[in-house]
């Protein structure tokens, strides 16, 4: 019989309170600037998560160079991404925020896991096939072994959950396969994380091609809005958004993908329901609607952009955040790496 803890929110089994928080880890490649899509679809939900979970978030710069990067741009984006996360509400005191290349254990465990990941498994990865097709002149070894490094990212921290988007599920499954193989040989070294299905975030599509997801790696002018875009640029992007030959603001993903996408964005920014939005713009045509959506987005992003710009000027602060983050992360990662080195038969230093 569990003992119960009772407070104003109700009764909770005591063991849920006395147990340490479950751990969660996720990484994002700084290979493009964050978009309105990543914000409304994911980052917005991270705020406050630290109350229930022990959260680790990192900038996956090691993964970013599997595709050729401009060094100055990669450096800028890595720091900017950190500033943006903080601006979006991730409290660095309560979350562990770090840069992947600062924690050398990732690359080290990545190599070990390469030796426990099969050529056939890596060849079947959808992302590898897609990226090889897109970068035919640079199908490098890192692009191929990307998933074993990602498995290392995860397994080093023994997390309970790994929140990822649909496109990354296959990588988490491979991580499981590798961990199971390793545990099968050496005993229970790695904990298998459960997939984390976050509260459904809004799925935001491109403004000019509403059948495709709004993507950070697409070229400019492909109907994406960046978190750091100025109000002028945002308004211009929304004025150019595709709608249809109708004039009716009505939600129908199939028949009216452009208008529906704008409604999703407007609903996410204003918390209005689709019915309220339909009523609000009844008989007004698309011009007024697009302006209203643009303005709502400008106001939603304004505090984030302003805070990120302010943080970007405070290099010393950002440096202290990623240094502390790397220290905390290394501490956890090193424990796992030591165990692995011992298991595989490396001589202790
Ligand atoms: N591959 C992920 C992406 O492209 C980024 C990533 C790297 C990641 N390592 C990870 C995500 C570990 C979760 C856990 O989005």
Confidence of residue 17 (pLDDT cuts 50, 70, 90): low
Which of 23, 25, 26 to probe ligand 1 with, by most ligand atoms within 8 A of CB? 26
Q: Looking at residue 167, what is its pLDDT? A: 84
199 is catalytic: no
pLDDT at 45 over 90: no
Of these residues, 29, 213, 256, 290, which one is catalytic? 213
213 has catalytic annotation: yes
Out of 32-36, 102-106, 169-173, give the one with best mean pLDDT.
102-106
Ligand 1 site, residue 149, Cβ cutoff 6 A: no
Average pLDDT estimate for 74-91? 96
B/e letters for 302-312, b = 16+ CB within 10 Å, e = fewer, are eebbebbeebb
Poorest-pLDDT segment among 14-28, 31-45, 277-291: 14-28
> Residue 28 C-alpha to ligand 1 middle, in angstroms?
6
Fold classified for 20-202+315-344 = Rossmann fold (3.40.50)
Q: Does 201 score more than 70 pLDDT?
A: no
What stretch of H or E contains 336?
helix 315-344
Tell whether ligand 1 has an atom less than 6 A from the beta carbon of residue 305. Answer: no
Percent of the chain at pLDDT > 70 equals 91
- State the residue for tokens 């990192």: 58
Cα dist. 131→67, 139, 217, 248 in Å? 9, 8, 12, 39
Ligand 1, residues 146, 171, 192, 194: which to mutate, most atoms within 8 A of Cβ?
171
pLDDT at 339: 98
Q: Is the model's pLDDT at 175 over the cut of 60?
A: yes
Ligand 1, atom 3: nearest CA belongs to which residue?
28
221-312 placed in CATH 1.10.240.10: yes
Half-sphere exposure of 262 (CA within 13 A, CB side): 32
Cα of 151 from ligand 1 centre, angstroms:
9
User: Is 94 a catalytic site residue?
Assistant: no
The 10s digit of each residue's pLDDT in 212-268 is 888 776 666 668 999 999 999 999 999 999 999 988 999 999 999 999 999 999 999
CATH 3.40.50.620 domain range(s) in the chain: 20-202+315-344
pLDDT, position 199: 61
Residue 82 pLDDT exceeds 90: yes
Q: Which of 23, 29, 35, 128 to mutate to test the pocket of ligand 1 (most atoms within 8 A of CB)?
A: 29
What is the C-alpha to C-alpha distance for residues 281 and 206, in angstroms, rounded to an integer? Answer: 22
What local confidence, expressed as pLDDT, does residue 162 receive?
92
Report residue 227 as tokens: 């978190």
**Position 2 pLDDT exceeds 70:** no
Cβ atoms of 214 and 22 closer than 8 Å: no
Residue 205 has what DSSP assignment?
B
Per-residue pLDDT at 220: 62
Whose Cα sits closest to atom 11 in ligand 1?
Answer: 27
Question: How confident is residue 7, by pLDDT bands cut at 50, 70 and 90?
Answer: low
24 lines ligand 1 (CB under 6 A): no
pLDDT mean over 317-321? 98
Instruction: State whether the beta carbon of 131 lies less than 6 angstroms from ligand 1.
Output: no
Tokens, residue 189 = 């070294």
Summary mean pLDDT of the chain: 92
Share of the chain above pLDDT 90, in %: 79
What is the pTM for the complete model shown?
A: 0.88
Task: Classify residue 39 by its DSSP letter.
Answer: I
pLDDT value at 1 more than 60: no
Average pLDDT over residues 85-101: 96
């Amino acid at each position: 019989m569990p003992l119960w803890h009772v407070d104003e929110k109700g009764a909770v089994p005591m063991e849920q309170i006395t147990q340490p928080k479950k751990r969660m880890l996720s990484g994002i490649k700084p290979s493009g600037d964050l978009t309105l899509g990543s914000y409304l679809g994911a980052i917005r939900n991270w705020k406050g998560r630290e109350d229930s979970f022990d959260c680790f978030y990192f900038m996956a710069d090691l993964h970013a160079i599997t595709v050729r990067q401009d060094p100055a741009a990669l450096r800028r984006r890595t720091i900017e991404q950190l500033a943006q996360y903080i601006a979006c509400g991730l409290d660095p005191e309560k979350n562990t925020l770090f840069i992947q290349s600062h924690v050398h254990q990732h690359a080290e465990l990545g190599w070990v896991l390469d030796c426990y990941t099969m050529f056939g498994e890596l060849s079947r990865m959808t992302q590898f096939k897609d990226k090889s097709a897109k970068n035919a002149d640079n199908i490098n070894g890192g692009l191929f072994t990307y998933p074993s490094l990602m498995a290392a990212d995860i397994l080093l921290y023994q997390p309970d959950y790994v929140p990822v988007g649909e496109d990354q599920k296959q990588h988490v499954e491979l991580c499981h396969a590798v961990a199971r193989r390793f545990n099968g040989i050496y005993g229970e070294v790695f904990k298998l994380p459960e997939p984390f299905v976050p509260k459904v975030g809004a799925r935001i599509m491109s403004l000019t091609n509403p059948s495709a997801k709004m993507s950070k790696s697409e070229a400019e002018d492909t109907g994406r809005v960046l978190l750091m875009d100025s109000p002028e640029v945002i308004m211009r992007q929304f004025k150019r958004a595709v709608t249809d030959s109708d004039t009716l603001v009505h939600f129908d993903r199939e028949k009216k993908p452009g208008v529906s996408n704008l409604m999703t964005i407007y609903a996410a920014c204003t918390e209005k329901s689709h019915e309220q939005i339909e009523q609000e713009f009844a008989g007004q045509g698309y011009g007024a609607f697009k302006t209203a959506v643009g303005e709502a987005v400008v106001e939603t992003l304004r505090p984030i952009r302003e805070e990120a710009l302010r943080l970007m000027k405070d290099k010393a602060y950002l440096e202290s955040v990623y240094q502390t983050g790397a220290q905390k992360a290394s501490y956890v990662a090193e424990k796992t790496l030591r165990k692995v080195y011992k298991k595989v038969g490396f001589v202790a230093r």
